[in-house]
Structure 1
Amino acid sequence: MIKRDGALPSLWQQTVEPLEVTNTALAAKYDVIIVGGGITGISLAHRLQNAGLQCLVLEAHNCCFGTTGGTTAHLNTLLDTPYSTIIKNFGEEPAKLVAKGVKEAIHNIERNIEQYQIECGFERTAAYLFAENDDQQKELQEIVEACEKVSVPVHYTGTIPVNIPFTKAIEIPAQAKFSPVKYVYELAKNYMDAGGHIVEQTVVVNHNHRTDEVTGEEIIEVQTEDDYTYVTNTLVYATHIPPGVNVLHLRCAPYRSYAMAVKLPLDNYPAELCYDMYDPYRYYRTQVIEGEPYFIVGGEDHKTGHEDNTEACFNRLLANVRKYFNVESITHKWSSQYYEPADGLPYIGELPGARPNVYVATGYGGNGMVYSQVATILLSDLILTGASTYKELFDPNRIKPIAGFTNLIKENADVVKNLVSGLVARSHLESLSELAHGEGKVVVFEKHKIALYKDPEGSLHVLNPTCTHLKCSVAWNAAELSWDCPCHGARYSIDGEMLNGPANMDLKKIDLQEE
C-alpha cells in the first residue's frame, strides 16, 4: 500500500507497492524537469523520455500521493462543464477542439495499456446521464444538442443500468474506466526503464533563470527544500495547482469530493458509468480489482475548507447509495481535491508571469483523468516542436491578469498575522480547548488563534493556523484529519506537514511547556 494525502485510504492505494526509485538525480542538467508525480507528471515524463529527452520527476511525497490516488477514475468525453457551456464561453469551433482533445486523451491511455501490456482493469463502456425532474430534462436537452454540434455521439435511452427513478436519460458510448494508480505506476516503471529518473520526498520551493557562463544559454535552476539545486532547460509544474503565488490561484477554486467503495450482492454490479444531474451531482461505477468487484459512488462536492461537518458528506453519500442499492458492506471511503477553473476549461501551457520554458497544467475540474492526457499531448508538443493544436484553447494566459492582483496578495497576507511563537502552557490549552479525543478546531488563546488537535491517546498537537501560502486561516477537516485552507486549497496534516499545494512549507508548530 502507498501513502496519499488523507487519513482515509482510497481503493487504489492497495493496488500497488511503492515504486523502487533510486531517489538520485544522475545528470548534471536535464532537458525537462517535471514537478509532480501524479498521472500528469508521469505521463508527460514518459512521453518526453521516449521522444529522446532526458527527464527528471521531482515528487514532494510519493508518486500518486495526491489527487491521482483519490480520483474515481472516470474517462469521459462527456465533461463536467457541458459542451453547451463551453460553446457559450468559447464558441462552437473551440468546443469541437475540446471534444477532439478528450477523445484523443482516452485513446492515449488505451494505446499505452496495449503497448506496454499494463493490467489496470481498463474497459471501454457506455455512460448514462439521467434527469429526474423537468428542469433537469431541459438541461439534458441542451447537452444533447451541444454534443451533436461537437460530434460527441449521444442518444436518448429508455433504460439505465442503475435502479434509480428517472424521467429522461441519454447514453454516451465509448467511455472508459480503469484503476488509475496501477496504470501510473506501471507507466512510471517503463519511464525509468527508458532512462528516466524519479526523486521522491523532495519539495520544490523555487526556481530561477540564469545564463550559463560557458554556453551562454539560459537555464533554469530548481531549488528544493533540502537546499539542493537541479538544472534544466525546461520546467513543468504538474502539481495540480502551481506552488508559490500566481494569478492562477485566483482563477482556480479548490473543491473536495467524496467517494466510497461498497460491496453489493453478487452479479448486481452495473458495468457502465452513471451520473445524476443534481448540483453537486453523484456518480456511480464498478471496478474489478484482482477479481473482486467494487461499486464506487462519489459526490457531495464542496469548496475546500467551507464545510463544517465533512463526515456528514460521507453520511449523505451513504444514504443515497443505500436508498437505491443493497449495500452489503463498505470497503473504503475517502475524499480528494480538485480545482475548478474560472471559465470551465483547464489552464495548460506557459506559466503566467514566468519567463520562457516554464509550463503548468491545472484547473482540471472533475475531469482530471482525461485532461491529464490533454496536458501530456499539449505540453509535449510545445516542448518538442514549439507548437500545438490546443495551445490557444487552454492557454493559461487567455485571461488578462486580474486588476488589483498585487493589492489582493497584500490583503491576503494581512488576513492572519504570524501570531504565536515560543512556548505555551499545556494546562492552559487543555482547559481552553475542551476537545474530545480525535477532534480538532481553531481556538482563540490570549487574543491569538491556535490550531488544536487532540489525538485518540489524548495528546495535543498545536499549530499556528496561518496557511504558509497566503496567510489565510486553516479549517479542520474531521473526515481526513487535516487542516485545510479555504482560500487556495493548501492542506496540512495534524502535525502541520504540507499535504497539498500551493503551499510549499509546513505549518509552524507551537511547542508546549508543562507550566
Structure 2
Amino acid sequence: MNQENRPETDKNLPRRDGRNESLWQQSAGTDLHTTQQPETDTCDVLVVGAGITGLTAALLMQREGKKCIVCDAFQAGYGTTGGTTAHINTFADTTYAEVEQKFSEEASRQFAEAIARSVGTIHNLVTTYSIDCDFEWKDGYVYAEDEQETKELQDLYESALRAGVETEQVADAPAPLPYQAAVRFPKQAQFHPLKYIRGLQKEFLSLGGRVIENTLIDSVEKDGEYLIAKSGEREIKTKAVVYATHIPPGGINVLHMRNAPYRSYVIAATLKEDVYPEGLIYDSQDPYHYFRTHVIDGQKYLISGGHDHKTGHGDPEQSFADLIAYTSKCYPVDQVTTQWSSQYYVPSDGLPYIGHLPGTSDGIYAATGYNGNGMILGTVAAMVMSDLVVKGSSPYEKLFNPARVKPMGAFTEFIKENADVAGRFIADRFGIEEMESVKEIPADSGKLVEFQGQKLAVYRDKTGTVEALNPVCKHAGCIVNWNNSEKTWDCPCHGARYDQKGNVLTGPAREKLDRVAFPDLEAASAQKS
C-alpha cells in the first residue's frame, strides 16, 4: 500500500517522506494530534526534528528542568525513524576494527561504551514509562560465506572483544544460507520505532514540553544572549538549538561535505512455512543483508533489508526487485506485503558527528552520520547533546566532535565523495534526452528532459496532468533525479529530496524547486503531438 491510495479511514495514520508506506505506519495507530502553539515564544532549548534523536533529546533535557520546544516540518517519525528496520545493536556498521584503524583502540572502546549506554537508555525509557512498543531482547548473528568475508568477520569479532563487547564464535547459527563462520552478539534488541517515539512524545508532553508540527524552521540568528529561530513570520526565542534533522539544513556546511547520503531498501513479507528467524541475522556482503521477525496483530512478518546505494544514483525499483529475489533465495516467501526505502548518511571517517555545529553561533548543536544505525546512534546523539546543553560537557564530545580533524585514513573517502559531488554537478547537466511531447512520460512517473532548449524535471500524473520544475537542487545546485518507487526527486549530491510538485521532503534544502510555467509547456507539447 502507498500513502496516496490509503482508504479515507486511514488518512490520520502517520505519513512518511515518500510514496511507499512502511510496516510501522500501518500499525502505529492514529496520530497523537499534539500539534500546538506554545504558551510562550521563549524556551531554554528548541529541538528541530521529531524523530528518535529529537524526541529522546527533548525528553532527557525536559527531565533535567530545561523548558523545551520540539518543532518538526511535518510530524513525529516522518523521516528516517519511520522507515528504519529498528535493529538495536551493540555493534555498528562502522566496525570496531575500523575505528581502531582510523582512530585508536581507546576510541573503539569509547564508541562501544557509548553504544552500550544507548541500548541501556532505550530499555530504561521503555520500562520506566511502560512504553508499549514491542520491545524484545534478541541474539544477533553475523555470518560469513567465503574466505574474504571470514577474515573480515574475524576482525569484527576480535576488535569487538578488545572494545569490551560481549560476543562469541559459534558453530551453529540460524543463517538462511550455507556459511563458513559465524559470531553471536547476545543482548541485542528490536522494537516498533513509531510506537516507541510516540511513547517518548507522550512523556515529554506530560512533563510540560511542547511539540509544534508542520512548522519549518527557516533560520536561526544570534541576538544578544538568545538565539532567534524563525518560521515564516513566527519567531521563537531560545538559549540553545538542537538540530535533530538527520543532516543539518540550510546553506552548505562542512558536515554536508563529510557525509554521503544513501538509500536503504526494506520489505515485509509473510512466509509459506513457519521458519521466521528468532534472532537478528546479518550476512557479511557489501552492502550487507539483514533479517528479523516482527509480529503485528498476531501475524508474523519477515523484515528484510539491503541493496543500498547512494541517493539519486541507483535504480530504486531494481533494488527492490533484487532484494525480493535475494530474500526469496533465503526464505520461502509467500507474499511481500509492503516495501519501502529510507535514507541515512555515511560519515567520511566512520563515526557520527555530534556536538556544536561548525560555523555557527555558540549554543547550536547538530548530529549526523549515523550510517545504518539510526536507532542506537540517534540515541547516542540525544545523550551527548543533552549533556552538552544541561551540563556543558559530555564524556564523548571529543570522540564525536563535528569539528574534529579527520584521520588520515578518512581523507581518501572525503576526497572521493566530494569529487563525486563535483562530478555530478557538471556531468548531470549534459546528455539529458530531448522530449518531443509530455506524452512520452508514462503516467504517474517523472523524467529529466530537455524541452525547447530548457532542462526540466517533469512529472505526469495518472490523469495526464503535468508538473514541470527546474531540476536544479536548491541546496548546492546539483541536478535532481527521479525516484520512480517513492515518486520523489532526489538530489545525488547531498540527499535533498522533493515531491512531485517540488516541495521539500527532506533537507538539507529549505526551499522548494522552482516551478516552470505549465501552460507554455502544455501548449508547446500539444502542438508537437
Q: Does TM-score exceed 0.5, indicating one fold?
A: yes
Shift of 1:430: 6.6
1:298 aligns with 2:305: yes
Q: Structure 2 counterpart of 1:468, which letter?
A: K
Shift of 1:289: 2.2
Q: Deviations over 1:142-176 (max 9, x none)?
A: 11110111111111112222431111111111111
Shift of 1:292: 2.3
Select 1:489's aligned residue among 476, 487, 495. Answer: 495
Tell me how far apart the structure 2 counterparts of residues 324 and 283 of structure 1 sit (CA, whole Å): 11
Structure with a larger share of its residues in helix: 2
Tell me how far apart the structure 2 counterparts of residues 252 and 471 of structure 1 sit (CA, whole Å): 17
Q: 1:466 maps to which residue?
A: 472
Select 2:461's aligned residue among 452, 455, 463. Answer: 455
Shift of 1:219: 0.4
1:71 aligns with 2:84: yes
Q: Deviations over 1:70-99 (max 9, x none)?
A: 000110112101100001111001110110
Whether contact under 8 Å (2:436, 2:451) holds in the other structure is no
Select 2:397's aligned residue among 384, 391, 396. Answer: 391
Shift of 1:433: 5.9
3-state SS in 2 of match to 1:175: strand
Shift of 1:291: 2.6
Shift of 1:261: 0.3
1:55 aligns with 2:68: yes
Q: 1:382 maps to which residue?
A: 388
Matched residues, number: 493
Shift of 1:505: 1.2
3-state SS in 1 of match to 2:107: helix
Comparing 41-50 with 285-294, greater Cα deviation is found at 285-294
Q: 2:254 maps to which residue?
A: 247
1:441 aligns with 2:454: no
3-state SS in 1 of match to 2:84: coil
Whether contact under 8 Å (1:121, 1:289) holds in the other structure is no
Q: 1:357 maps to which residue?
A: 363
- Cα separation, partners in 2 of 1:415 and 1:492, compared to 1, 3 Å: same
Whether contact under 8 Å (1:16, 1:185) holds in the other structure is no
Q: Structure 2 counterpart of 1:187, which letter?
A: L
Select 1:10's aligned residue among 8, 22, 27. Answer: 22
Tell me how far apart the structure 1 counterparts of residues 312 and 405 of structure 2 sit (CA, whole Å): 27
Q: Structure 1 counterpart of 2:466, which letter?
A: L
Q: 1:424 maps to which residue?
A: none
3-state SS in 2 of match to 1:143: helix
Whether contact under 8 Å (1:350, 1:360) holds in the other structure is yes
Shift of 1:28: 3.1
- Cα separation, partners in 2 of 1:221 and 1:412, compared to 1, 3 Å: farther
Q: 1:425 maps to which residue?
A: none
Whether contact under 8 Å (1:364, 1:371) holds in the other structure is yes
Q: 1:214 maps to which residue?
A: none
Comparing 451-460 with 249-258, greater Cα deviation is found at 451-460
Q: 1:111 maps to which residue?
A: 124
Q: 1:39 maps to which residue?
A: 52
Shift of 1:347: 0.2
Shift of 1:412: 6.9
Q: Structure 1 counterpart of 2:178, which letter?
A: P
1:373 aligns with 2:379: yes
Whether contact under 8 Å (1:262, 1:327) holds in the other structure is yes
- In the TM superposition, what are the counterparts of 1:229-268 in structure 2 within 5 Å? 229-244=235-250, 245-265=252-272, 267-268=274-275
Q: Deviations over 1:105-164 (max 9, x none)?
A: 011010111011111111111100000001001111111110111111111112222431
Whether contact under 8 Å (1:37, 1:63) holds in the other structure is yes
Q: 1:277 maps to which residue?
A: 284
Tell me how far apart the structure 1 counterparts of residues 311 and 443 of structure 2 sit (CA, whole Å): 24
Whether contact under 8 Å (1:413, 1:472) holds in the other structure is no
Q: Structure 2 counterpart of 1:124, which letter?
A: W
Tell me how far apart the structure 2 counterparts of residues 204 and 139 of structure 1 sit (CA, whole Å): 44
Q: Deviations over 1:30-81 (max 9, x none)?
A: 0000000101000100111111111001100111000000000110112101
TM-score by length of structure 1 reads 0.92
Q: Report percent identity of matched pairs.
A: 42
Q: Structure 2 counterpart of 1:260, which letter?
A: I
- Cα separation, partners in 2 of 1:414 and 1:271, compared to 1, 3 Å: closer
3-state SS in 2 of match to 1:138: helix
Tell me how far apart the structure 2 counterparts of residues 329 and 156 of structure 1 sit (CA, whole Å): 34
Tell me how far apart the structure 1 counterparts of residues 259 and 338 of structure 2 sit (CA, whole Å): 29
Q: Deviations over 1:253-295 (max 9, x none)?
A: 0000000000124632212001111111100001122332211
Q: Post-superposition, which runs of at least 4 consecutive aligned residues in structure 1 deviate over 6 A?
A: 411-414
Q: 1:316 maps to which residue?
A: 322
Select 1:139's aligned residue among 134, 144, 152. Answer: 152
Q: 1:422 maps to which residue?
A: none
Q: 2:110 maps to which residue?
A: 97
Comparing 476-485 with 454-463, greater Cα deviation is found at 454-463
Tell me how far apart the structure 2 counterparts of residues 460 and 498 of structure 1 sit (CA, whole Å): 19
1:124 aligns with 2:137: yes
Shift of 1:376: 1.4
Q: Structure 1 counterpart of 2:477, which letter?
A: K
Whether contact under 8 Å (2:438, 2:460) holds in the other structure is no
Q: Structure 1 counterpart of 2:68, which letter?
A: C
Q: Which runs of 5 or more residues in structure 1 are unaligned? A: 212-217, 420-427
Tell me how far apart the structure 2 counterparts of residues 23 and 486 of structure 1 sit (CA, whole Å): 35
- Cα separation, partners in 2 of 1:451 and 1:390, compared to 1, 3 Å: same
Tell me how far apart the structure 2 counterparts of residues 322 and 441 of structure 1 sit (CA, whole Å): 31
- Cα separation, partners in 2 of 1:478 and 1:356, compared to 1, 3 Å: same
RMSD, matched Cα: 2.2
Comparing 107-116 with 434-443, greater Cα deviation is found at 434-443
Q: Deviations over 1:393-446 (max 9, x none)?
A: 0000002799x99xx99x979958xx9xxxxxxxx9771561111221110123
Q: Which runs of 5 or more residues in structure 2 are unaligned? A: 1-12, 524-529
